[in-house]
Chains A and B, each alone.
Chain A
Amino acid sequence: MATTYRICPRSGLQFDTDAEKLMRFHAVAGVLSLLVGGIMALGVILTRWPAVKLLPADVFYMVLTAHGIDMLIFWIIFFEMAVLIFASSTLLRCRLAMPKLAWASSWLMVLGAIMTNVAIFQGESSVMFTSYVPMQAKWHFYLGLILFAVGALLICFIFLGTLVVAKAEKTYEGSIPLVTFGALTACIIAIFTIAGGAVILIPTLLWSLGYIREIDSLMYRVVWWAMGHSSQQINVAAHVAIWYAIAAIVFGAKPMSEKVSRTAYFLYILFLQLACAHHLLSDPGLGSEWKVVNTSYFMYFAVLASMIHGMTVPGAIEQAQRLKGYNKGLFEWLRKAPWGNPAFSAMFLSLIGFGFLGGISGVMMGAEQLNMLIHNTIYVPGHFHATVVIGTTLAFMGLTYFLVPVLFKRELMFPGYAKLFPYLFGLSMYIVALVMMGAGTLGVSRRHWDMAFAGAPMAYEWPGAAYLMMGLTGIFGVIACVSGGLWILQIVFSILLGKKLEEGELRSTPIPLTLPAPTTGSHVHPPATPGTLVLALVFLTAFILYYFVNWKYLSSLWGLG
């Protein structure tokens, strides 16, 4: 059971050796999934770009299925497992619970990921990420997902076990750090998510093997989204934790209020799950009362929580900067922020994009009646590219720049590209998300091979603006794919060939966390954050305007009742 501990000379963090190896394993598995998903993204984007239309229909749907699964499930959850291990063992400076089980679970996840990918690329499981019944995939498509989920579930339990170890062995004092609290939120949501996945995927596997005759399509959608949407809520909890972490690492920022931030996370635990209803607002058979209560996270309490995080993260940065003397006017703290540090610029672009593009659009389309305007249009992927790519993926990528020297003990190669990358990738994804939402507002379908309807007896002609926006999706999508590909190359080169950095001291016992005695400084009233409040009010204004513009649009439609 003996493990060793390394103190990183660059960050002061202490790594349990097992935990460190597992984090590297999951980060690498995640980035490899991102690579496959990214190549698929290029296929998708070059086919949906009307002037290019690269792939034939059958290949397109196969590639689109692989893109969804590799990105939304494998890349993100592998990386999140690394985050869970980091937030428990590393931040609490303790040993990892049950390292052997952790390794077995990690390999199970890899096995599952490979199995599902094999099923997809064999070509008979082009059922999309959602695999809606009665369309059927091959049995190993479902089995791979189940194995992956079981592995992830076990690592969630190892995370919880590690919290117990840290408490029992007294490696920290007081309460767990806010970032660990955020990871705990993500873990609780993940357990719920995986339970939902098991409830629907196990019967679906049995159905694909012929043991169950029929699965009801509406029941499938209701239960599947308990997994499908909630898995994206794990991301929200995880990337918000990373925002706090990067603010702490780069600025030494202290949360404005532990109470407020933790309460906001607690609201996520209570209410985020209800949002699986977002996908069912235009379905038959469910009552309006059910739709209204669930789609609004019971009175928008999870939106409230996100709006709180959206203010307290930049607020904490503003306080830290003002304490350093950047006090001029409303925005000197922001102007003088380290915009050349990719961990910061990625995190800040992630925060702004997630709020303005992903957040506002998500709430708009999650309103029961407004959903009819965009259900199944390309607006929906526009929205979730803002949340999952700009929000989650960009935050993860920014954190990875920090992990290369700290976790992989290598010097980052091509640092010039690192400075540029968050802007190149982030801003091109901003445009992709916007033009996809624009095309979706005009009605263009998602998951659709040909917007010109080649071969249809009664084709519909989309307005020219829709073609223009799909063309722009193509151009900026390619820029995003290429810059993301270069990021992968940069990380892979750095961890294989980068200059080796000093390991740091290896010890056989952990050094518990000792907090400096509260300085007099912490009793001084922290500076006010007027700049952040102004940003928040700009956000709110955009939110309110966009929200009501869509109600106006809805009111012009045919009467429905």
Chain B
Amino acid sequence: MSAILPPAERIWWKQPIDKLEYTWIAIALVWSLTMFAMMIWWHIYGNQNLANETYKTTKEMFAAKTQAVVDKYTVRTGTAAEKEFPIVAPPAGSDIYLIGRLWDWWPIYELEMGKTYKLHLSAMDYMHGFSLQPQNINIQVHPNYDHVIKITPNAKGTYSIVCNEYCGIGHHTMVGRLYVK
């Protein structure tokens, strides 16, 4: 008779289903399939799909590649709280490497609006969280994985990269910068 007792009808699976209940199930099924299709549709027609291109790497190898880009394309040096950061402006289309480590993002890139770059992300110690603000693009950053994402900035300005994966006591000081001109 009720949900805490065995079904009153022994052959409960032959009981007819209420018409309104059926209607709702049909609506819910259509909506479920629509949401499923939406993700696939966006892969074909949308402009914001997270790339899955990933390579195994080592901390040393990734640091060396980053250093090479910094050595080649540094345009000036910025200082923040007595720390010096190279400001790097690589040409459009190039591979740019960003290191997440305790507790900064290194280096600072200066990119051009409307141009596409191949951003490589990796961490040197713990996991970190790449959170580009105020855009609000959030990506998990792992040590020993080189994650390659094609990015095309669509507005000029100064952006911050907040770390949003807990990485120890200085986590809240881990904020980087990125310029788009």
Residues of A within 8 A of B (CB): 57-58, 61, 91, 128, 132, 134-135, 172-179, 216-218, 221, 244-245, 247-249, 252-260, 280-288, 292, 295-296, 299-301, 303-304, 307-308, 311-312, 315-316, 363, 367-369, 372-377, 441-443, 445-450, 453-460, 462-463, 513, 515-516, 518, 522, 526, 528-530, 532-533, 536, 540, 543-544, 547, 551, 554-555, 557-561
Q: How far is the CB of A477 from chain B (nearest CB, A)?
A: 20
For the A-B complex with A174-B6, A372-B138 known, give 15 more contacts whose Cβ atoms are closer than 8 Å.
A135-B127, A217-B127, A248-B2, A255-B2, A282-B140, A283-B140, A284-B146, A285-B52, A286-B52, A296-B36, A311-B24, A456-B172, A456-B173, A522-B8, A557-B136
A559 and B151 contact, CB distance less than 8 A: yes
Do the beta carbons of B7 and A529 come within 8 Å of each other? no
A sample of 15 cross-chain residue pairs with beta-carbon separation below 8 angstroms, ordered by A number, consists of A135-B167, A175-B7, A177-B6, A285-B52, A292-B39, A300-B35, A304-B32, A315-B18, A369-B46, A373-B138, A447-B165, A457-B104, A458-B160, A532-B20, A544-B31
> Which residue of the partner chain, among A257, A367, A561, contacts B39 with CB atoms under 8 Å?
A367
Task: Enumerate chain B residues within 8 angstroms of A533, measured Cβ to Cβ.
Answer: 20, 23-24
A-side contacts of B51, CB under 8 Å = 560-561
* Chain B 126-153 interface mask (CB, 8 Å, partner A; 1/0): 1101011111111110111111011111
Q: Say yes or no: A458 contacts B39, CB within 8 Å.
A: no
**Are the C-beta atoms of B81 and A285 separated by less than 8 Å?**
no
B48:A369 contact, CB within 8 angstroms: yes
State A435–B130 Cα separation when bound (angstroms): 23
Is B76 located at the chain interface by the 8 A CB criterion? no
Asked whether B38 is an interface residue with its Cβ less than 8 Å from the other chain, the reply is: yes
B29 at interface by CB-CB < 8 Å: yes
Please tell me if the beta carbons of A256 and B18 are within 8 angstroms of each other in the complex: yes
Q: Looking at the complex, which one of B12, B31, B39, B138 makes contact with A377 (CB distance below 8 Å)?
A: B138
The chain B residue sitting closest to A303, CB to CB, is B32
Interface contact A288-B164, CB-CB below 8 Å: no
Contact B7 A253 (CB under 8 A): no
Contact B164 A557 (CB under 8 A): no
Question: Among A134, A247, A522, A528, which residue has its beta carbon within 8 angstroms of that of B3?
Answer: A247
A443–B36 CB distance below 8 A:
no
Chain B residues closer than 8 Å to A459, beta-carbon distance: 175
Q: B residues within 8 A CB of A455?
A: 170, 172-173
**A555 with B48: CB separation less than 8 A:** yes
B175 and A460 within 8 A (CB): yes
B75 part of interface (Cβ distance < 8 Å): no
Across the interface, do B31 and A258 meet the contact criterion of CB distance under 8 Å? no
A91 with B127: CB separation less than 8 A: no
Partner of B42, one of A308, A460, A526, A551: A551
CB-based nearest B residue for A537 = B27
Cβ 8 A contact of A454, one of B31, B36, B172: B172
Number of B residues contacting the other chain (C-beta, 8 Å)?
Answer: 91
A174 pairs with B127, CB closer than 8 A: no
Can you name the residue of chain A whose Cβ is closest to the Cβ of B166?
A: A447
| Minimum CB–CB distance for B55 against chain A, Å | 9
B33's nearest neighbour on chain A, judged by CB, is A299
B143 touches A513 (CB 8 A): no
How far, in angstroms, from A174 to B17 measured CA to CA in the complex? Answer: 20
Asked whether, in the complex, the Cβ of B138 is within 8 Å of the Cβ of A376, the reply is yes
Indicate if the CB atoms of A284 and B138 lie closer than 8 Å.
no
Closest chain-B Cβ to A255's Cβ sits at a distance in Å of 5
Q: Which of B98-156 contact A (CB under 8 A)?
A: 104, 116, 121, 125-127, 129, 131-140, 142-147, 149-154
Task: Evaluate contact between A458 and B169: CB separation under 8 angstroms.
Answer: no
B18 to chain A, nearest CB (A): 6
B162 to A445, Cβ gap below 8 A? yes
A176 engages B6 (CB within 8 Å): yes
A307 and B18 alpha carbons, distance in the complex (Å)? 16
* Contact partners of A456 in chain B: CB under 8 A: 81, 172-175
Instruction: List the A side residues contacting B5 at CB < 8 Å.
Output: 91, 177, 248, 513, 515
- Say whether B136 contacts A442, CB under 8 Å: yes
Among B2, B8, B46, B137, find the residue whose CB has the most chain A CB atoms closer than 10 A: B2
Give Cα A436 to B85, complex, Å: 34
Is the C-beta of B49 less than 8 angstroms from some C-beta in chain A?
Answer: yes
Residues A375 and B125 in contact, CB atoms below 8 Å apart = no
**Closest chain B residue to A128 by CB distance?**
B166
State the CA gap A526–B20 with chains docked (Å): 12
Cβ of A26 to closest chain B Cβ, rounded Å: 19
Cβ contacts under 8 Å, B171 to chain A: 57, 447-449
Residue of A244, A260, A301 near B32 (CB, 8 A) is A301
- Rounded to whole angstroms, the CA-CA distance of A384 and B170 in the bound complex is 26
A132 touches B127 (CB 8 A): yes
Q: Are A252 and B2 in contact (CB under 8 A)?
A: yes
Using Cβ atoms and an 8 Å threshold, which residues of chain A touch B144? 216-217
Q: For residue B149, give the distance in angstroms from its CB to the closest CB of chain A.
A: 6
User: Is the Cβ of B28 less than 8 Å from the Cβ of A284?
Assistant: no
A216-B144, A515-B6 known; A443 and B21 CB under 8 Å? no
B104 CB contacts on chain A under 8 angstroms: 457
Name the residue of chain B whose CB is nearest to the CB of A293.
B36
State whether A557 touches B140 (Cβ < 8 A): no
Q: Which residues of A contact B170 (CB under 8 A)?
A: 455
- Which residue of the partner chain A has the closest CB to B78? A458
Asked if A558 meets B175 with Cβ closer than 8 Å, knowing A61-B166, A253-B2, A296-B35, the reply is no
Contact call B21/A558, Cβ cutoff below 8 A: no
Is B90 part of the contact surface with A, judged by Cβ < 8 Å?
Answer: no
Contact A560/B151 with A456-B172, A457-B81, A533-B24 known, Cβ cut-off 8 Å? yes
When the two chains form their complex, are residues B137 and A557 in contact, meaning their CB atoms are under 8 A apart?
A: yes
A372 close to B164 (CB less than 8 A): no
Contact of B47 among A175, A304, A372, A559 (CB under 8 A): A559
Find the A residue at minimum CB distance from B83. Answer: A457
Partner of B147, one of A259, A260, A284: A284
Measured between beta carbons, the chain A residues less than 8 angstroms from B1 are 252, 254, 515-516, 522
Residues in B with CB closer than 8 Å to A303 are 28, 32, 35
Nearest CB in chain B to that of A543: its residue? B31
Contact A558 B153 (CB under 8 A): yes
Q: When chains A and B are docked, how far (Å) is the Cα of A113 from the Cα of B46? A: 47
Say if the beta carbon of B61 comes within 8 Å of chain A.
no
For the complex formed, measure the closest distance between the CB of B48 and the CB atoms of chain A, giving whole angstroms.
Answer: 5
CA distance A249 to B127 in the complex (A): 48
Shortest Cβ gap from A150 to chain B (Å): 28
Pick the contact of A367 from B38, B125, B150 — CB < 8 Å? B38
Interchain CB contact (< 8 A) of B12 among A175, A374, A441, A559: A175
Shortest distance from the beta carbon of B159 to any chain A beta carbon, whole Å: 9
Is A558 touching B169 in the complex (CB atoms < 8 A)?
no
| A292-B44 Cα distance, complex, nearest whole Å | 13
Q: Is the CB of A316 within 8 A of B3?
A: yes
A376: contacting residue among B3, B135, B164, CB under 8 A: B164
